[in-house]
Structure 1
Amino acid sequence: MPRPQRSEQFSPEEICYVHCIQRCVRRAWLAGVDPVSGVDYSFRKEWIRRRMEALASVFAIDVLSYAIMSNHIHQILRNRPDVCAQWSDEEVAIRWLRVFPGRRMEEHLAEPTENDVKTLVRDKKRLAEVRRRLCDVSWFMRALSEPIARMANFQDQCTGRFWEGRFKAQRIIDDAGLLACSMYVDLNPVRAAIAGGPEGCRFTSAYDRAEAQKGEQVDSAAFDLKPIPTEEAGRKIRETPVDDLRKERKAKRKNPTGRRILRDAWLSPLTMKPDILSGEAEVHSGGVRSSDRGFLSLSWKDYWELLCWTAKQSVQGVKAEVPPRLAKCLAALGIDVSMWRDLVWNWQRYFGKSACVGRPESMKQHAEQTGRHHYRGQGSGAACFA
Structure 2
Amino acid sequence: MTIARASLIPPGGPGTYHCVQRCVRRAFLCGIDRHTGQSFEHRKAWIERRFLLLAECFAIAIHAYAVMSNHLHLVVQIDPAVVDGWSDEAVAARWVRLFPPREDSEQARGLKQRLLMTQPERLQRIRSRLSDLSWLMKCLAEPIARAANGEDGCKGRFWEGRFKAQVLCDERALLAAMAYVDLNPIRSGLAIRLDRSRHTSVKARIDAADEAQLARRLQPIAGSIATCLPLSLGDYLALVEWTGRQVRPDKRGAIPKHAPSILQRFESHPDRWAVRVKAIGSGYWRIVGDVQDLTDWAARLHQRWIKGIGIATALAKTN
* TM-score after normalising by structure 2: 0.89
Query: Partner residue of 1:349?
Result: 282
**Structure 1: which amino acid aligns with 2:265?**
C
Partner of 1:270: 218
Deviates more, 1:83-92 or 1:20-29: 20-29
In the other structure, the counterpart of 1:51 is 50
Q: Distance in 2 between matches of 1:318 and 1:293?
A: 34
Distance 1:302 1:90, change over 3 A: same
Name structure 2 gaps, 5 residues minimum: none
Deviations 1:288-332 (A, max 9, x none): 7312222x212111111111111112323434234261342223x
What displacement does 1:123 show? 1.8
Which range moves more in the overlay, 337-346 or 109-118?
A: 109-118
Give the corresponding residue for 2:98.
99
Cα distance between partner residues in 1 of 2:260 and 2:92: 51
The letter of the residue matching 1:62 is A
Do the aligned residues in 1 keep the contact of 2:96 with 2:109 (CA within 8 Å)? no
Offset at 1:27? Answer: 4.5
Alpha carbons 2:91, 2:126 under 8 Å: kept: yes
Q: Residue 379 of structure 1: CA displacement?
A: 1.5
What does 1:173-188 align with in structure 2 at a 5 Å threshold?
173-188=169-184
1:207 is matched by which residue type in structure 2?
K
Q: Which residue of 2 aligns with 1:385?
A: 316
Query: What's the TM-score once normalised by structure 1's chain length?
Result: 0.74
**Alignment-mate amino acid for residue 147 of structure 2:** M
Is 1:110 matched with 2:41?
no
Correspondent of 2:270 among 313, 327, 337: 337
Higher-Rg structure is 1
- Partners of 1:372 and 1:15 in 2: CA distance: 23
Task: Kindly provide the amino acid, as one letter, of the partner of residue 37 in structure 1.
Answer: T
- Mapped pair 1:204 → 2:200: yes
- Separation in 2 of the partners of 1:168 and 1:72? 11
Instruction: State which of 283, 294, 297 in structure 2 corresponds to 1:363.
Output: 294
What are the equivalent positions in structure 2 for 1:77-156 lying under 5 Å apart?
77-101=76-100, 105=102, 108-111=103-106, 112-156=108-152
1:330–1:337 CA contact under 8 A, matched in 2: no
Single out whichever of 370-379 and 122-131 deviates more from structure 2: 370-379
| CA distance in structure 1 between the aligned counterparts of 2:273 and 2:223, rounded to whole angstroms | 31
Is the Cα contact below 8 Å between 1:11 and 1:136 reproduced in 2?
A: no
Q: Deviations over 1:307-363 (max 9, x none)?
A: 1111112323434234261342223xxx64221122224543312xx1111112222
Aligned length: 308
- SS in structure 1 at match of 2:309: coil
Question: 2:282 is paired with a residue of what secondary structure?
Answer: helix
Matches within 5 A, 1:204-243: 204-214=200-210
Tell me the distance in 1 between the aligned counterparts of 2:6 and 2:230: 29
User: Residue 349 of structure 1: SS of its match in structure 2?
Assistant: coil
**1:237-252 paired onto structure 2 within 5 Å:** none
Given that 1:336 and 1:385 are in contact with CA atoms closer than 8 Å, whether structure 2 keeps it comes out as no
**Distance change (3 Å), C-alpha of 1:385 and 1:337:** farther
Equivalent-residue separation in structure 2 for 1:27 and 1:214 (angstroms):
40
Match of 1:241 in 2: none
1:376 corresponds in structure 2 to: 307
Counterpart contact for 1:55–1:140, Cα < 8 Å: yes
Report the CA distance between 1:59 and its aligned residue. 1.1
Q: Distance in 1 between matches of 2:256 and 2:82?
A: 43
Change (3 A) 1:323 1:336: closer
- AA aligned opposite 1:35: R
| 2:66 match: secondary structure | strand
Q: 5+ residue gaps in structure 1?
A: 216-261, 263-268, 273-287
